Amino acid sequence: MLFDEPSSRTYLSFSSAISRLGGRCINLEFNKSSRMKGESMEDTFLTFQTYVDAMIVRVSDSSFFDMIKNRDLAKIPIINAGCGNISHPTQALLDVLTMREERGTVNGLEISVVGDLKNSRTVKSLLRLLKNFRVKVNLVPYNKYLAMNDDKYLNEIQRGGIIIEKFNSIRDVIEHSDVIYMTRLQKERGSYGNTFTLDNKLMSKGKQDLVVMHPLPRNQEINNEIDADPRVAYFRQMKYGLWVRMAILYNLLVSNN
């Protein structure tokens, strides 16, 4: 596993998935690697793939996977475990699995995506996947600077089955949402401002079968007083991540061989 950004859940669930499937995993700690001697990410990647059967890669550089693809550098399966502020496809798979497991079906759901929509890669991958379903998505940024303002991306999303509506506050969507998908402020990507906080008072306005999700880590946008509410799914969501990542690895490395 090659991670040049911090990670807890993605890293641990992938390592757990590998060992549960009978595999072994090696990791490169960046601050002990030749990256510290000025080696490029590209050379680090080429080195790493010499020693393994598949690679799980998290990078801050949003163009990294395109570069690998365009220059045909990958000789083994490469899994994107988070790419800059643009994509996190395995998170999207586990998010949709969570909705399906919690509510029985994804079609017909009204999903409110709340928070840092500009810099959250999990949101961008989630909407790309959700465009294959008949869902309504409410976009609820913390402030106008954190809105989803990439027209090319929004046009791509809306070519699918999604209906998109924009709101200014979580209070405008809490009563009619089936899913609330909270995200934190991506401070490390330059996002700033106040956040909304989902607490017991707001939860009291939500539907009986509301599903509250968060890719985690959370900051102040979720008050931990709601953790015991049965509608809170973010801890179960972590576990679905393990099953999804086991399935991905199984499909790539076991079932085809």
Decide if residue 10 touches ligand NCD (CB under 6 A).
yes
Q: CB within 8 A of 178, min separation 6: which ones?
A: 103, 109, 110, 111, 207, 209, 210, 211
Using CA atoms, how far apart are residues 6 and 19, in angstroms rounded to an integer? 21
Query: How near is the Cβ of 231 to ligand NCD at its closest, in Å?
Result: 20
Rounded least distance, CB 255 to ligand NCD, Å: 25
Binding residue (CB under 6 A) for ligand NCD from 146, 215, 221, 248? 215
Does 128 participate in binding ligand NCD (rule CB under 6 A)?
A: no
Which CB sits closer to ligand NCD, 122 or 177?
122
Token reading at 151? 């027209």
User: Whose CA is closest to 198, among 219, 178, 215?
Assistant: 219
Residues identified as active-site: 9-10, 37, 58, 88
- Our finding on whether 237 is near ligand NCD (CB under 6 A) is no
CA distance 22 to 19: 5
Member of 184, 203, 212, 222 binding ligand NCD (CB under 6 A): 184
- 222 close to 196: Cβ distance less than 8 angstroms: no
Q: Does 88 bind ligand NCD (CB under 6 A)?
A: yes
Nearer to ligand NCD by Cβ, of 46 and 129: the residue is: 129
Q: Hey, what amino acid is at 108? A: G
For the CB of residue 47, give the shortest distance to ligand NCD in the complex, in Å. Answer: 24
Alpha carbon 90 to its chain centroid, in Å, reads 7
Site for ligand NCD (CB under 6 A): how many residues?
A: 10
Work out the end-to-end distance of the chain between its first and last CA atoms, rounded to an integer number of angstroms: 21
* 82, 84, 141, 206: which one binds ligand NCD (CB under 6 A): 82
Dist CA 84 CA 86 (whole Å): 6
Please, which residues bridge with residue 113 across strands? 139, 181
Of these, 87, 112, 122, 191, which contacts ligand NCD (CB under 6 A)?
A: 122
Binding site for ligand NCD (CB under 6 A): 9-10, 82, 88, 91, 121-122, 184, 215-216
